[in-house]
Every structure is written in C-alpha cells, then in structure tokens.
RNA sequence: GCCCCCUUCGUCUAUCGGUCAGGACGCCAGGUUCUCAUCCUGGUAAGGUGGGUUCGACUCCCGCAGGGGGCGCCA
C-alpha cells in the first residue's frame, strides 16, 4: 500500500505556525515511507475563506520547504484539491447517506438550536447537542417539506446508546459513549459541507492512508468513523498530535503569540531553523540529535516517537536555534540569505523615494530606514504616550487597528489609509492626533518615514506584530484590557465597525 | 456542567522495571576575546499526589489532583 498523507488547512487569516507543525509530521511520515504528501484547501467556510489567505499558505509551506505532491496549484489525479470546487461530490455523498438512513434532513432553525443550547446549558448534568427532533420525522413529512422548499441541513444519525471504540495510532484504544456524540450537521443549508463530511469524503477519495492531525479532532473521531462505516469504506489510520501551546499552556493563539509563519520569515527566522525547532517539539530522534534538516527527519522518521504532552512554543529557543544556523553559514551564503530575505535592491528602491526628501548626507539613509529591517523597533515605552493619547485609550485604539488590519482584504497603501482614516473618523480624532503612537509602534520614533508606507513595506504580519509589541509595552506600564473588559470592548468595536460600515 | 486526552528540570525532551534520571533552551559562574557577541568549561534545576503489582518502580494498574481539548449550519 502506498502511503499518502495530507495537510488540509483552512484559508482563513494568516498561515498558522501550527499548520507547518502538523504538515511537517505528515510530510516526514509520507516521505519516510516513499509515499505522497497532499495539500488540500478546506475552504468550505464561504464567509471566512479567501484566496489571499490560500496563496499565503502556499507561500508559507513552500518557504519552509514542505513540498506537496498534489495540490490545488499543481493538480494531481484526485482533484480538485479545493473543497469549494467539490460541492457536487459532497452533495452526492450526502444523498447516499440520506438514502441509506445514515443521515437525515433537519429543518430546525438556527434560533431553535440557539434556544436549545441555552436550555441545555441551564440544566446541570444535562445532555448537550441536537435533540434529534427531525430524526423522528416521517418520510412523508420530510419529503413534503423539502418539496415545499423549506430550508434544511443534513444531519448524521448517531446510535442512541453504546460505546464507540476508536483506534488512535499514538494512544491506542479510545472509547467514547455514543450518546455524547452530536448529530453533526454534514451539509449546511447553503449546500456546502461541514468539515466532517468533506474531510471524510476527501480523505477517502484522495486515498489518504494515514491521517495526522491536531488533537482537537479526537472528540469528533466517532463521527468520522461512523461516516466511513456508513459509506462502506475502510477508514485510514488516525494519529492525533499534541497541540502547540502558549506559555500559559492554552492552545497556541495569535492573541498571545505570533502565529503567522510569514511573520517569522519577516522577523528573520530561517526556514531550516523553524523546521528544526518545530521538529523538536513533540518529537525526538532515537540517536538524540537535536540539530537536523527536513531530509534527516524524513529519513529517520518514526511516528511512535511522538510524545503526547502539548509542547509550549518557545520563541527564545527558536531564536537560539536560528542563531546557530545563521552563525554556521559561510559569509557568501549569508549574504544571499539577506537578499532573499528582503535586504535587496528592490527593497531599497521602495524605500528611497520615501527617504530622499529627508536626506542631507548619504549616510542618513541607513539610520532612517533601520526600523524597516528590524523585528522589534527600539523605543522607550513612555514614548507611545507622548502624542497625548491616554494609555487605556491607546490600548483600545491599537486593538481596533489590529482587528481592522486583520479584516481588510488586500494589503495596499489605499487599504491602510482607509483603515486609519476610518478609525480617526469613528474615534473622533484628527489623523494627526491618532497617528503619533503608531509612528512609535512602527518606527520606534514619532518622526520617521511615512508610517503608512512603512506598514506597507513591513507587510501585514509584521505590522500586526508591532501593534502587539506596543500593547506589551503599554501593559508593562499598567495599561491593558483584562480578559472580560477586552471581550466587552470587542463587542463595542464590532457594533461600531463591523456592523455599520 | 458533560465527554475525551495528557502529566520527568522554568521550557522542549531522553528513559522500552534496576540509570549518580541524560541532552537542549534559559539562567548563574569561569575561561577565550580591545569591548560586546560568539565559542569553550562548569553549575543550577525534574518524575503532581495517594494506593496497589513487584525482590525492585519515573517506567505497569487504579483513584485523586492539575493542565489541555471538545461540546457551532468554524475548521
């Protein structure tokens, strides 16, 4: 049997470091067994998915050197590799499930479900999940309502009792009572599949033999094996890998850590160092070596050597490994790395028009532009407040800027101008009043090259990171929004910015 | 609240019942270096807890505790 593994990211937001981490093990396993590694884009969430983000995933995975054998950009015998282009396949499979009784149409509205959830939450010790109302509908009523054009989803029929016995390649047997498994929606009212249906159908059709994915999926494994069974398919082997964590041990999140692969690239992390570090998390070589390449990992990979405690993503150690790689390089190679990284003619040609009006001597240029090549610009935290905006207010403004920056479709000068123009307007500030702290956050000083152009040059991920650095600097001075206040504020923000644009 | 998973230095990990519990990052100290960094040497620091099983448990089993994940027409 030919080994086939896959990485199946969702193109929402920045390409996640966790994607590279899971992809790494899938890649290593496939290559170790002379098999194939497939990239599939899971863009069934029409609202959150974007082509821009998909492209960023391609770039990020390519950058770290995880080459896929089949994927949306290069095709293959089992395409299309983008789930949004496979809806007919899912619908057809969904029909099969309804026909053989493994699934059923459900007409319950979002409101009823919300009420149901609220009621269930109120009952202590109560059961959770769909109550199965539509599962009991007669065939006549069901078809009559469908004929009438009533909106409906397709739900998975789950055994009412008993236990689902699962096999996880790392943990062995896992048992989950069926009555704890929800009647999962498989096909949404818009005709798009949910993760569960699309994932199972695709993994089978794409002949995936080994599924290595995040541990967060283990509790939906019963649904997945049930689906394989309902289709009459042999399930692949499953391996649930431990999740990357923040220093506080929660699941790695962008609120607490930079998670964009592109940020690390911009910050000057070498792809081979990132791979080396990621491979060190949850995995160890039998011979104890700690410095290795992707090829080394693939050559010796043994999935049984994955350890199960969720590793904390430690940026400091990543930097230490990066430094070792960097220092070991011959100068000429290092020089080439700098050029690839962005210290090149192209970059200077972008910077020069901004710097030229400010030059008196040639020697002025590099100091003026230094912050564009830094990770964290150096400044005294109080400098952020010099513009006159009070600390807590500034925290709010930085947050708003982050949310708006994440939300915006393209990263262009116009988009950036619009973001800050809008913030100034909605917050009742002149741009001139709003911007000083942003100059400091981005450039490290209240005067610098134009800040919007700087953001454009730095890129979205690095811009976001500098907002985060500024928030940290403010936090150190006692200005921060605590968890609940932040949530509250985010609601206010949504109402003002997202609702009424 | 319910279900599932996990548990060795601060952090990443090694250990296939018998080890002075090893390595790496961090930190500390010393050496090299015009300074700093690098590099080298040394040090610091760990088996959550209570029961079993066993001649012997970090290692196997059970309870508890702690941590994490899941409980969406998100993935």
What is A374-438 written as a DSSP string?
Answer: -SS----GGGGGTTS--HHHHHHHHHHHHHHHHH-SS--HHHHHHHHHHHHHHTT--HHHHSHHH
Note the pLDDT of residue A112.
Answer: 78
Which nucleotides of strand B lie within 7 A of protein CB? 1-8, 10-15, 22-26, 38-39, 67-75
Note the pLDDT of residue A480.
Answer: 87
Q: Is the CB of A167 under 7 A from strand B?
A: no
pTM for the structure as a whole: 0.94
Cis peptide before A80 (omega within 30 of 0): yes
> Position of tokens 């936090």?
A475
Q: Which of residues 251-270 of A touch strand B (CB under 7 A)?
A: 251
Q: Are A56 and A95 in contact (CB under 8 A)?
A: no
pLDDT tens, residue order, chain A (501 aa): 799 999 999 999 899 999 999 999 999 999 999 999 999 999 998 888 999 999 999 999 999 999 999 999 999 999 899 999 999 999 999 999 999 999 999 988 888 777 778 777 777 666 778 877 777 878 887 788 888 888 889 999 999 889 999 999 999 999 999 999 999 999 999 999 999 999 999 999 999 999 999 999 999 999 999 999 999 999 999 999 999 999 999 999 988 889 999 999 999 999 999 999 999 999 999 999 999 999 999 999 999 999 999 999 999 999 999 999 999 999 999 999 999 999 999 999 999 999 999 999 999 999 999 999 999 998 999 999 998 899 999 999 999 999 999 989 889 999 999 999 999 999 999 999 999 999 999 999 999 999 999 999 999 999 999 999 999 999 988 898 887 788 888 888 988 887 644
Q: Which of residues 434-463 of A touch strand B (CB under 7 A)?
A: none
Q: Are A37 and A30 in contact (CB under 8 A)?
A: yes
What angle do the packed helices A51-64 and A17-32 form, to 10 degrees?
50
CB atoms within 10 A of CB A196: 18
Q: Is the CB of A483 under 7 A from strand B?
A: no
* Measured distance CA(A132)–CA(A155) in Å, rounded: 9
**How far does CA A447 lie from the centroid of its chain?**
35
Instruction: Give the ipTM of the model, two decimals please.
Output: 0.94
Which nucleotide lies at the shortest CA–C1' distance from A283?
B13
Q: How far is the CA of A15 from the C1' of B7 (A)?
A: 30
Q: How far is the CA of A243 from the C1' of B58 (A)?
A: 24
Note the pLDDT of residue A256.
Answer: 86
Q: Which of residues 117-146 of A touch strand B (CB under 7 A)?
A: 117, 124-126, 128-130
Catalytic residues of A: 254
């Amino acid at each position: 049997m030919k080994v086939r593994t896959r990485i199946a990211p969702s193109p929402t937001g920045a390409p996640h470091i966790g994607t590279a981490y899971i992809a790494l093990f899938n890649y290593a396993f496939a290559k170790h067994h002379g098999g194939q590694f497939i990239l599939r884009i899971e863009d069934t969430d029409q609202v959150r998915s974007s082509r821009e983000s998909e492209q960023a995933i391609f770039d990020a995975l390519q950058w770290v050197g995880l080459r896929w054998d089949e994927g949306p950009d290069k095709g293959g015998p089992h395409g299309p590799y983008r789930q949004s282009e496979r809806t007919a396949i899912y619908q057809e499979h969904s029909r099969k499930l309804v026909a053989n009784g493994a699934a059923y149409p459900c007409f319950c509205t979002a409101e009823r479900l919300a009420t149901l959830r609220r009621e269930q939450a109120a009952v202590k010790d109560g059961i959770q999940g769909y109550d199965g109302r539509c599962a009991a509908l007669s065939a006549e009523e069901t078809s009559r309502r469908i004929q009438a054009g009533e909106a409906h989803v397709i739900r998975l029929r789950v055994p009412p009792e008993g236990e689902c016995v699962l096999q996880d390649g790392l943990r062995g047997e896992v048992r989950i009572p069926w009555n704890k498994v929800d009647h999962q929606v498989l096909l949404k009212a818009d005709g798009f599949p949910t993760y569960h249906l699309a994932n199972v159908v695709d993994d089978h059709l794409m002949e995936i033999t080994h599924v290595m994915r995040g541990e967060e999926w283990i509790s939906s494994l019963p649904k997945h094996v049930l689906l394989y069974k309902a289709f009459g398919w042999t399930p692949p082997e499953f391996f649930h890998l431990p999740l990357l964590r923040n220093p506080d041990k929660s699941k790695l999140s962008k609120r607490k850590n930079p998670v964009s692969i592109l940020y690390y690239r911009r910050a000057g992390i070498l792809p081979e160092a990132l791979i080396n570090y990621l491979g060190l998390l949850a995995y160890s070589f039998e011979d104890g070596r700690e410095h290795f390449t992707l090829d080394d990992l693939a050559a010796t990979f043994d999935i049984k050597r994955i350890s199960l405690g969720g590793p904390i993503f430690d940026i400091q150690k990543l930097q230490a490994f990066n430094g070792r790689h960097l220092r070991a390089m011959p100068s000429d190679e290092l020089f080439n790395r700098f050029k690839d990284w962005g210290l090149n003619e192209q970059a200077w040609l972008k910077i020069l028009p901004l710097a030229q009006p400010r030059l008196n001597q040639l020697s002025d240029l590099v100091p003026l532009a230094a912050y564009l090549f830094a990770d964290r610009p150096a400044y005294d935290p109080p400098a952020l407040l010099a513009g006159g905006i009070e600390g807590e207010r500034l925290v709010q403004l930085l947050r708003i800027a982050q949310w708006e920056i994440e939300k915006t479709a393209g990263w262009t000068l116009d988009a950036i101008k619009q973001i800050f123009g809008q913030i100034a307007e909605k917050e009742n500030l002149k741009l001139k009043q709003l911007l000083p702290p942003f100059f400091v956050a981005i450039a490290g000083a209240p005067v610098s090259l134009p800040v919007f152009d700087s953001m454009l040059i730095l890129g979205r991920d690095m811009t976001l990171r500098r907002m985060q650095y500024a928030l940290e600097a403010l936090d150190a001075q006692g200005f921060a929004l605590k968890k609940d206040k932040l949530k509250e504020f985010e609601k206010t923000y949504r109402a003002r910015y997202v609702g009424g644009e």
